[in-house]
Structure 1
Amino acid sequence: MHELLLFGAIPPSRHTQLLNILSGISSMQPRPIRSEKHLVFKPNRPPGSVGSLKVGGAQDVNVHKSQIQAHALGDLFYMQLVAEVEEGKEEEQWVLQFRDLPEVARQRGVTSRLVADVPVTSGDPMEFMKALNYSHVSTYTISGHRFTHHSASLVLYRVTLPPTAVRSDSTSGGLPQARLLDPSGTYILQASVRVQDGSKVETMTKGVNELLGLKETLKGVVELEIGDRLALDTRVR
């Protein structure tokens, strides 16, 4: 599956205004994202090898092996386990996310990349990643709001990092606090369209045109632009 993307940045002072505008455009109330947890994993195996999935606690994890192996050859990529954490919910629904290096934009005018989202429907997701020979390297959380406009998904969010430990000689007192990745508090607006078959020119063109039309609609409110290809690079260096 291909994902087509555009990005914009909004200062905190305009957050409420943009929520109202997006509500009007999409004809829906914003759907809150209170805490979407992202666990980032790095592969341990050498390039070109594929680890066994039937190891230890991963035997009970229900995913399609072919969906993972399709992206496991050649370059090594970081992958993520993602779940929206809700208070009072005993079990989270984790999804294993693969994001390829975006294609060179050329004349398309949007970011385009190959993606795969594989639900982990049972078992221990951490043990599953160990079975794939991946190690957990970092965690972050996003919070914000979602909208849907025709076929496009709009997410207005900020990234929060886990709290750092308080030094024993600190005079600040209190418990360690989670912190924003961007201390300025800037919000990111991500607009995306999913295309099932990226080889079909007609469907890709339709998706691109929808995003570019949305860009034009929001002109003067937020400038939607192509993402930084290197910043979106998920390959392991």
Structure 2
Amino acid sequence: MHELSLYGAVPAEDHVQILQQLAGVTRMQPQHVEEIHLVFKARTPPGLEKVHGSGGSQGNQQQQNEIQRLKGMLQSGIYFVQLVGTIVASQTPAELQNGQLFDTERNELVEDRTQQKVNWRFEFKDTPESTKQPTNTRLISRTRFEDGEMIAFMDLFGFEYVNRYYIEGQKFYNQDTTIFVHRVRQLPTADNIRDTSDIAKIPPRSELQLLDPSEGFVLQATIDIVDGNVQELKDRAVRQLLALKETLKQAVTLAPADRLALDTRIPIPVRRI
């Protein structure tokens, strides 16, 4: 599956206005979304650090070229991946008040997330294609996890935990396009992670610091297509995203993100011996 996307910055003071405009464009009310993101990195193949990056002046050039080719192959498939947990709303009606969920039946803020259900999925996103295009295009894969020891599975699968963060925002849907207005909050460091039931227990939102001190939001517009190599599907998705860009141009500037800012490859330090 391939993802085509555009991004825009929404200042905090324009957030409510943007939501109102998106509600008008999509003819729907925003859907509140909360997600826990667990970041994992693939382990470096054993012995890679012993493969010399280059030799001295006495080295055979053909042999050095072969070593570089081999090392490039070993490094090319090493990526960061994520387990994404979508927090399912409680059974009681809730609404958003001043950026917080409010239980309308109990007349109180919804702060205890430990009792809420979390739906988990494994998510891989490749680095966007390097060719100059009007949108970001990259290969993606999502696999839903029903149950089980996901952390142990990731470990056996060759991935180790790195960090976690929390996303809050609102989603809209327009034809094939998903529009996600969101911002990131930092989560306390979690060491010795054993299972996702422990890591899903997060503090109240009021205690979580925003990653962006300006309190701004990111507007992400995406379309997922089954095969980005089918030009007809790709062209149609690009047209839809560009049409949305034109519709919202007075409110927010949508554009492809910096490709390297979306790089999911694990940097490998270069060692010269």
The alignment's C-alpha RMSD in Å is 2.2
TM-score by length of 2: 0.70
Q: Deviations over 1:193-223 (max 9, x none)?
A: 0110111100100001100010000011100
Query: Aligned pair 1:36/2:35, yes or no?
Result: yes
| Contact 1:163-1:177 within 8 A present in 2 as well | no
Listed as ranges, the gaps of 5+ residues in structure 1 are 50-71, 166-175
Match in the other structure for 1:180: 210
CA–CA distance in structure 1, aligned partners of residues 115 and 243 of structure 2: 39
Q: 3-state SS of the aligned residue for 1:20?
A: helix
Asked if 1:193 is matched to 2:223, the reply is: yes
Are the aligned partners of 2:122 and 2:142 in contact in 1 as well (CA < 8 Å)? yes
Alignment match, 2:249 = 219
2:254 counterpart SS class:
coil
Indicate the percent of aligned positions where both proteins have the same amino acid. Answer: 38
1:92 positional shift? 2.3
| SS of the residue 1:19 aligns to | helix
Q: Cα–Cα, structure 1 residues 90 and 162, in superposed 2: closer, same or farther, change >3 Å? A: closer
- Kindly provide the amino acid, as one letter, of the partner of residue 152 in structure 2: E
SS at structure 2 position matched to 1:230: helix
Find 1:129's aligned residue among 147, 154, 172: 154
Decide which of 114, 136, 139 is 1:111's aligned counterpart.
136
Largest Rg, 1 or 2: 2
Structure 2: give runs of 5+ residues left out of the alignment.
49-73, 89-112, 191-205, 268-273
Inter-partner Cα distance in structure 2 for 1:105 and 1:124: 39
Give the CA deviation at 1:133.
1.8
Residue deviations 1:168-197 (CA, integer Å, cap 9, x gap): xxxxxxxx9321111101100000001101
1:41-80 alignment runs, 5 A limit: 41-46=40-45, 74-80=76-82
- The one-letter amino acid of 2:9's match is A
Counterpart contact for 1:105–1:111, Cα < 8 Å: no
Aligned partners of 1:164 and 1:177 also within 8 Å: no
Shift of 1:4: 0.2
Match of residue 93 from structure 2: none
Partner of 2:97: none
Relative to the length of structure 1, the TM-score reads 0.80
